[in-house]
Every structure is written in C-alpha cells, then in structure tokens.
Structure 1
C-alpha cells in the first residue's frame, strides 16, 4: 500500500494545474477510505512543481489591476484569486506531508481536506476565467506566496501561525468586500463562488487555530503570546485592519491573538 507521504509528494510534484487538482482530491479521498498507509518514508520537496505560466513576479513588479468596472480589471481580479487558491493547494499538502508524522492522523486528515477544498476552489475560478475568455496563466502572478511555507519548513507552530492564522485569516477580512463588489456588478455566479470560498476558509482557519492551540498546550505556553512571537519572527508583512472579527472568532481566532500587534 502506498504511503500517505508518497501520495502527497506526488501531488506536490504535479505541475499541471488540472492534474494537480485531480491528484490532490484523489489523495484526500484515498486517505478518507483508508487506502494510504501511515508512513512518512519520503521527504517533501522544498518547492512544489508549478506550470511554466503564469510568470511569477515580485510583489513590487505586479501590474496594477485598474478600476473594477473594466473587463481587464475583472479578469485580473479572478486571475489573482485563482493563483492564491492554486498555491493554497500546495500549502495544505505540504502542511500534511511535512508535519503529519509529528502531529498525528487528525492533523493529516484536516489538511488533506483543506487541500481538496482549495483544489475545488481553483477549479471553480479557472472555469470562471475561461467563461470570461481568459485562462489561468494568462497574466503574471505574485511570486511570494510560497515564501511563508519555505521560511517555516522546520517549525510546525510557526507554519500554523503564519499560513492559516495570518494569510488565510486575511482572506476572511478582504473577501466580503470583494463579494459585495461582485454582487453590485451583477455577477451572481462569481458571488456564489466567493461565498463558498469564504465559508470554507473559516473552516480552514479553524483547523489551523485548533492545531496551533495544541502545539502551545504541548509546550506549556500561552498561545496568544506564542503566536505573536512567531508572527513577528516569520511574517514580513503587517497585521492590519479592518478585521472580520466575527468570521475570525468563528474560526477560533479571537482578538486576543492579533489586536496587540495590529498596525
């Protein structure tokens, strides 16, 4: 029987976006069915396989989207969202494969379910782009999204603090405003996609918070203080309002974590 680590590594090293989605959802399904052995007999790659396009640029070289009302700006928005979800597939896979042996079966199951959700989100967004006459890879994309994973590859608490509890939590803050803009533009299909993503991201942040609290309990430290220390060490950006406090709280991420270090 193939090991869960081997199956995850295969998905991480699948470059084609459609194939990565298919492989990721297959790994999650096989795990749920008990068709993967509890073995961590291979290492995770430092960098996943990605397609040749989109061209990956530093944040300061990314072109401006322009006003939302133009077709070009709308395509740029959906392309940006698709790229975020594509990288999120690998973030969740790497979480399960890199730290699963240390954290246990529930942890692996949680983050494989996250990976499957992200693959579904990407597929929805890729189809959305195609319906607009574009495709994923047509525009350049942000190169820095994997940076948080690489910099925390040796510390599961740091990875949990930065990826689900900062990066994904930021999605809880900004998605409602994007959803309102899309609704105001009369795009009911796009609004439905964003509403589904928002609901799922609350669950994802909740998984990250749950396992972070267990890390803090295991080492006998205050979780809020530990989180603040790790974020200051490993996250280059700013924790800044406005915050979607209700969605964050639904995910278990109370203001006690982030209010003190917010800018």
Structure 2
C-alpha cells in the first residue's frame, strides 16, 4: 500500500471496488455456468440477488471514489479473484467453497478492521460504506453455506471434510488467516472447517505446507499449488479425489426431491 501513488483511503476503496466488480461477474457466472444442471430455481434466484447487491456495492464505491477526485481504473487491478472462478469452473461444490464461503468471507474478516482504519484516517463516509457492505456480505456467505450443505447432503458426503479438501486441493491460500471467527460463525461457517490449527495433526501439517507454497507462489505470480510441487504432492496423497462434475446432475435430482418433500411437509402442516 505504501508504494501506491494514491492516498491510502482511496487505495483501499479502489481495491474494494475491484472486489465488488469481480463479485458481480462471479455471481452471474455461477448462475449461467451451472444452469445446465437444472438446480432448484431458488439457487439461481439467490445468486441473482447476490449479483444485484454487488452491483449496488460497486456503485457506492465508484460514487465515493469520484467524490474524492478519483475513479475506478485509477490504479492497476489484480486477477486473483477471477482465478477462483477458473479453479471452480467444473465443480459447483468448489465454486461455493471458494467464492462465497471463502473469498466473500474475507469481507467478514476484514470489514470491521478496515472500517476502523478509515475512521482513524478521518474518512467516516468511506468507513460507513465499508461497514454496510460487510454487513450485507453476511447474506452472501450464508447463501454459499446453505447450498453447500444441500449439495453435500444430495451427494451423501460430510460437508466439513469436503470443504477442507476442496480448499486444500484448489486454493490453499484461503486457509490463511486472520479470521473473524464470530462473523463466520454467525453465517454458519464453523472454525473447524477453515482453521487448520484445529485439524488433525497430519492434515494440519499438510495445510501448513500448502499455505506456505501458496504464499510463495502469490509473490512469484505462479499457480497457488503447482501439481508437481512438494505441497501439491502432499495434498494429493493426503486427500481423496474431488467428485466428478457429472455427479452434479444426480445431486440436482436429489435436491429437487428433497425440496418437494419439504414443500409437501410445510403444506400439510
């Protein structure tokens, strides 16, 4: 941040605007990319609402940037968020684990801290925007958690180990703290899912190696965990393969059946 030619508050606001722009694209990509699996209409409606929220957040950020004499595009942006989209393009479970349940959960981790920093800089208006965005991100993470549970129930798998496996295999950098456990717990994300310090010793060591490799690769501009690296080999050896995407069709059918039963139960009650 110190190397940026922009004022610190503008730098942080521009980064947030970039996150929100990517979040819009990610939400619509989730709707379109997985539409062929015929999931319940509520799934697509949830992510359409997420996209609408993110559009409003982006508008707030751009308006505030312009009030400060800048605009979106005043500094270069990164591609890290879109890499999460590419990593999860063939697996809905991975999409939910990486994007709403981890990338968006970062907003829960950082929102209060970022808001307080902005207040300390004397920018109460930007701080208020950050607080409101962080509050609304709770619902987005909760959407991911809800549908991840449904997907796992349809596949007959335990969601906790599945979540850990997906992040270790695809995006171990998201297992690096600091975490706001209270905020994550509020939306249904237990610490045992993402905090490797609470894992079994063997898996904890695997996670530490994978996170270290991801951090090193981030600075070098390389993939998070290279397939042939020591960390990548350890992850592959310790974890079972991720389910094939074709299983999503069967999961969708089971989800539809489950929802039909819930509707019938609610109607007859």
Normalising to structure 2: TM-score of the pair? 0.70
Higher percent of residues as helix: 2
Instruction: Please tell me whether Structure 1 or Structure 2 has the larger radius of gyration of its CA atoms.
Output: 2
SS of the counterpart of 1:237?
Answer: helix
Aligned-pair distance for 1:185? 2.2
In 2, Cα distance between equivalents of 1:219 and 1:71: 48
Unaligned runs of 5+ in 2: 209-269
Partner of 2:12: 77
Deviates more, 1:128-137 or 1:248-257: 248-257
Q: Provide the residue aligned with 1:167 in structure 2.
A: 103
Kindly state the Cα deviation for residue 67 of structure 1 after the two structures are TM-superposed: 8.5
Select which of 132, 144, 148 maps to 1:196. Answer: 132
The alpha-carbon deviation at position 252 of structure 1 amounts to: 0.8
Q: Deviations over 1:46-88 (max 9, x none)?
A: xxxxxxxxxxxxxxxxxxx2199x9622221111111011011
Instruction: Please provide the CA RMSD for this pair.
Output: 1.8
Q: Residue deviations 1:157-178, cap 9 Å, x none?
A: 0110111111111121112110
Runs in 1 of length 4+ with deviation above 6 angstroms?
Answer: none
1:88 to 7, 13, 23: 23
Alignment coverage as a number of residue pairs: 198
Please tell me whether the aligned partners of residues 167 and 174 of structure 2 are also in contact (alpha carbons under 8 angstroms).
Answer: no
Q: TM-score, normalised by structure 1?
A: 0.71
Does the alignment pair 1:208 with 2:131? no
Bigger mean CA offset, 125-134 vs 184-193: 184-193
- Confirm or deny: 8 A CA contact 1:165 1:209 kept in the other structure: yes
Per-residue Cα deviation, 1:184-228 (whole angstroms, up to 9, x for no partner) = 222221121111111111110000000000111011011000111
**Which whole-Å CA distance do the structure 2 matches of 1:141 and 1:236 have between them?**
22
The structural deviation recorded for 1:153 is 0.8
Deviates more, 1:94-103 or 1:251-260: 94-103
Would you say the 8 A contact 2:27–2:51 is kept in 1? yes
Deviation at 1:125, TM superposition (A): 0.3
- Once the two structures are overlaid, the 10-residue window that deviates more, 204-213 or 137-146, is 137-146
Map Cα deviations across residues 221-252 of structure 1 (whole Å, 9 max, x no partner): 11000111111111141412221111111111
- Equivalent pair of 1:100/1:107 in contact (CA under 8 Å): no
Distance of 1:238 and 1:109 partners within structure 2: 27
In structure 1, the gaps of 5 or more residues are 1-64
1:1-263 aligned within 5 A = 65-66=1-2, 72-102=7-37, 103-259=39-195, 260=199
- Name the stretch that deviates more: 183-192 or 89-98: 183-192
Distance 2:100 2:177 in 1: 17
Distance 1:133 1:152 in 2: 37
